Structure 1
Amino acid sequence: MNLITARSGLRGRRTDGGQRTGSGQSRLGWLDGLRGIAALAVALQHFDITTLVSWGGDVRQNFDFGLYGVMAFFLVSGYIIPASLERRGDVRAFWVGRVFRIHPALIATIVVCLLVLPADKQAVAIFQSKHPSLDLLANSLMLQDLMGVTSGLRVMWTLTYEMIFYFVVSALFVLGWHRRSAGVAMLSAGVALLFGTAIATSTITVSLASTKHLVLAVAVIVVTALALILTGGKSAIRTGALMLAGVALTLVLLNGRAPAYETFMIFATMFAGTVIYRAEQGQIDRVLAWVCCGFVLLAGVLVGPLYNHDGYQNQTWTTGWVSWSSSYALAWGSFGLFMLLRKRRIPRVLTWLGAISFSVYLVHVPVLMAMGGPAERPTFTAPLSQKVLWTVGFFVFVLISSELLYRLVEMPMQKVGRRVVKALDRRTATPPAAPVLPAQPGPGEPELLPAGAGGPSAG
């Protein structure tokens, strides 16, 4: 099996990474619990729970469930995704796992929506435009939010930033720079602070023709890069990962949809999650980690009053700077609280919600549309019994649908992904390759030791 490996470092590493405790619960149950809460928060936002109470307007002005949920998700992704890659040190296995983790559930959700929901209550936007093939291609790459194309599902915009994160993490790994998470996080937060609204958006997709050209070009590059990665060759994997990073930098710097302070705070948040993981594992200096996380948190709060007003709040789907800053801070607070509780047993209902959180994220808007959409939702003047029935019914349907999607699609396809990895390994069976480049410690980081057992797997 041809691998691109990196020195993962044994200093400070726990020996129980990703395994079960004596109680039978994964030591990463705290992450599942936070993911479960984050998924419910996003569902509450789109359900517009605040319209059911007379004081809901005050809540909306001061807090945003959606921003809180997605930022908590981004922190979790930043913490766990690099660990997933470095667990085996296999870029190819990582990408096969990501594709089989995300695409099947997404495709199944879209297909069911198209088959079941009526046209006037459709939750899928792909085939409602004049250029469905363009929309389909961009959404298949999950880069549509940075290519001027409408997301197929309302929530898919966040998957674009997840995908860009995977691109960059893969490139840092093959270059041996994966321990430099603190620098990347602080650089991203600094850009958000300094250039909040100064970086132009959508500078490439200025017309339909330019959008078509960009989508086609990106598709060719990404497919070629992934094909190189699938070959398993050391040089091919390195080249493919760098091609993906080139796409990521181009789209983020030249064709963002959201104002720069949101885009770069998203990446700062994810890489700060990585910093927390590395500090916990003893891979970087803890003082550096504290300074980095404090800076990212402060930047995330400050960009609210600095930039999230005068119309820019509409581009971040918030009501103003207060709702931005409070939601961002609470996402960090929740992550910190759950991390403090990581050695305690997390309630099973929360770990279950975490397991199905991706399905909850995908199906809650389709379920809302199946119930008639926002127009059918009762207002705060409706009888209490009607509001309770609607709310309980919504979440019951969401949870049942999510469990079915998880059991029938997510879990089986993840098993298929693991079989694909094994088949690819057998087909290209050779001794593991040495690192392409040695992992270089960043400022304040300890010298890295030879590779050892990997960390916990991604959820």
Structure 2
Amino acid sequence: MFIQQYLPLLVYSFFLLLAFIFFRRGPDGSNAAGRDEYIDGVRGLAAISVVATHAWRLAAQGSNYTFDFPLRENYGSLGVQIFFCITGFLFFGQLYSRPEGFNWNTFYRSRIRRLVPAYFVSFILGTSLILALGNWSAFKPVQINHLIDMLFFGFKGNGNNLYALGIEIDRFFSVIWTLTYEIKFYLAFPFIVWACSTKRSESTALCIALAALAYEIAYSKTTFSGYFLTGALCAKFLRNIAVSLLIRKTAAAAAILATFASLSLDFKAYGFERFIISSVLFASIVIAKPRILSIRPLTGLGDISYSIYLMHAPVLMLTGFALEATLVGTSASPLQFILITFCAVTLVFAAAYASYRWIELPFLRSGKAAPEKKDTTEQKVVPA
């Protein structure tokens, strides 16, 4: 189907339409001093990229509707890479802007409030759908253990090649593998802060990090930790740099070209080439600080991006099962394809907004004591 090639454009367009409808006012009390609002816009677009990659779940149940397109995986991998860059950028931004140091008790409590409640809700949703939609004649007791493993933020896998009631578990939980890298970064961060406590130790730590990155790429031909390093270097050298308007425009053009290259070139998902392209992209955005990325609809998507990330797979799978029940045996017309995509995006948006509004936000607000209100690590540091 020719129109399937435009699925990412449809997904982006529908998300932006909904964002412009629902996000008209300022942020929900999160406009802290020193906040890099354009980063929220980047985060929102990154979350949409992951949804575009995973829209195949709409047709995963055997219907004639196809939601595949060339280089589909490029969108999701780019979104994850940018998420990792953002994490490194925000946390190292805190490191360089808080000479008084960290309250580690507050730091880790905020991370728990940020990650756990919404994740637990997404686990309940995914598990409930598997139990409701699965084939109980295929039940085996060990499948309960496989589902319980999904509680451990990807450290026990994401359910790939594991089945429960005839359904492959990773179709509901595939995105959780990235959380392991985020959590490892959080656990390593105190050691990183200690290593950067003096100019000399910081230089030594940087050399060790670069050597480790080179070894990782040479040994496995891929890198994940390198994106955190990219974000850290951008926070140190580019976040507060003063540049001319011409340089900002040049950086914006470089970001556009890097985005096009990342989405259109057939490189290994987390290989060296894509690491260079994504690093150039993120650095260019930090230099350009595009104002368009700070508009409320995009920052609103950034606010709910973690919930988008967690909720989209089970919601898309549920929609796919509904298609199987009602539309099997028919061929998809372009209009039907567009309408189904719009309905799926709307459901993902609604589920993500509900999760943010009634799960994430209350926990985030409950952890904001008066002295911590300007803690910009509370910006939506969203795994992907």
Question: Is 2:315 the partner of 1:367?
Answer: yes
In structure 2, the residue matched to 1:97 is: 110
Contact kept, 8 Å, 2:157 with 2:177, in 1: the verdict is yes
Instruction: For 2:229, give the aligned amino acid.
Output: F
- Deviation at 1:192? 2.3
Q: 2:304, 2:356 within 8 Å by CA — same for their partners in 1?
A: yes
Partner SS state of residue 30, structure 1: helix
Alignment size in residue pairs: 302
Judged with a 3 Å threshold, the aligned counterparts in structure 2 of structure 1 residues 148 and 403 are, in CA distance, closer, same or farther, namely closer
2:224 aligns to what SS in structure 1?
Answer: helix
TM-score by length of 2: 0.65
Q: For residues 56 and 103 of structure 1, do their structure 2 counterparts lie closer, same or farther at Cα, with a shift above 3 Å needed?
A: closer
Please name the residue that 1:110 is paired with: 123
CA drift of 1:39 comes to 0.5
Structure with the bigger percentage of helix: 2
Deviations 1:119-146 (A, max 9, x none): 4369xxxx98716457636733652249
- Cα distance in 1 between the residues matched to 2:142 and 2:371: 38
Task: Please give the TM-score of this superposition, normalised by the length of structure 1.
Answer: 0.55
Query: Is the contact between residue 84 and residue 457 of structure 1 (CA under 8 Å) also seen in structure 2?
Result: no
Pair 1:338 & 2:285 matched: yes
Q: Residue 271 of structure 1: which of 218, 229, 241 is its match?
A: 229
Aligned residue identity for 1:400:
A
Deviation per CA, 1:346-380, whole angstroms, max 9, x where unpaired? 22211111111000000000111111259749999
CA distance in 2, matches of 1:379, 1:421: 61
State the SS of the aligned residue for 1:144.
coil
Q: CA deviation at 1:340?
A: 3.3
Aligned 1:129-168 pairs, distance under 5 A:
130=142, 132-133=144-145, 136=148, 139-140=151-152, 142-145=154-157, 153-168=173-188
Instruction: Give the direction of change, closer, same or farther, for the CA distance of 1:141–1:85 in structure 2 (3 Å limit).
Output: farther
Which residue type is aligned with residue 314 of structure 2? P
Residues 53 and 401 of structure 1, relative CA distance in 2, 3 Å threshold: closer
Report if the CA contact (8 A) 1:83-1:454 is conserved: no
Between the aligned partners of 1:90 and 1:384, the Cα distance in structure 2 is: 55
Q: In structure 2, which of residues 214, 222, 230 is the aligned counterpart of residue 190 of structure 1?
A: 214
Report the Cα distance in structure 1 between the residues aligned to 2:311 and 2:159, rounded to whole angstroms: 24
Unaligned ranges ≥5, structure 2 = 1-29, 163-169, 242-261
* Alignment of structure 1 residues 335-414 onto 2, 5 Å: 335-342=282-289, 344-345=291-292, 346-373=294-321, 376=324, 382-414=332-364
1:5-44 deviations in Å (ceiling 9; x for gaps): xxxxxxxxxxxxx9668xxxx7411111111111011111
| Distance of aligned partners of 1:348 and 1:54 in 2 relative to their CA distance in 1, 3 Å threshold | same
**Structure 1 counterpart of 2:41:** 33
Is 1:378–1:387's contact at 8 Å kept on the other side of the alignment? no
Distance in 1 between the 2:371 and 2:159 partners?
30
**Counterpart AA for 2:118:** A
1:344 Cα deviation after fit: 2.6
Distance 1:119 1:347, change over 3 A: same
**Whole-angstrom CA distance in 1 between matches of 2:349 and 2:370:** 30
Change in Cα spacing, 1:187 to 1:121, as seen in structure 2 (3 Å) is farther
5+ residue gaps, structure 1: 1-17, 197-260, 284-303, 305-318, 423-452
Cα deviation, residue 78, structure 1: 1.0
Contact map agreement 2:153 2:177 (CA 8 A) in 1: no
Aligned partners of 2:239 and 2:286 also within 8 Å:
no
Identity %, equivalent residues: 22
Q: CA 1:420–1:375 in structure 2 vs 1: closer, same or farther (change >3 Å)? A: farther
Aligned position for 1:69: 79
CA distance in 2, matches of 1:55, 1:172: 43
- Give the RMSD, CA atoms, in angstroms: 4.3
Mapped to 2, the partners of 1:75 and 1:186 lie a distance apart of 15
Relative to structure 1, is the Cα distance of residues 378 and 78 closer, same or farther in structure 2, using a 3 angstrom cutoff? farther
TM alignment of 1:395-434, pairs within 5 A: 395-418=345-368
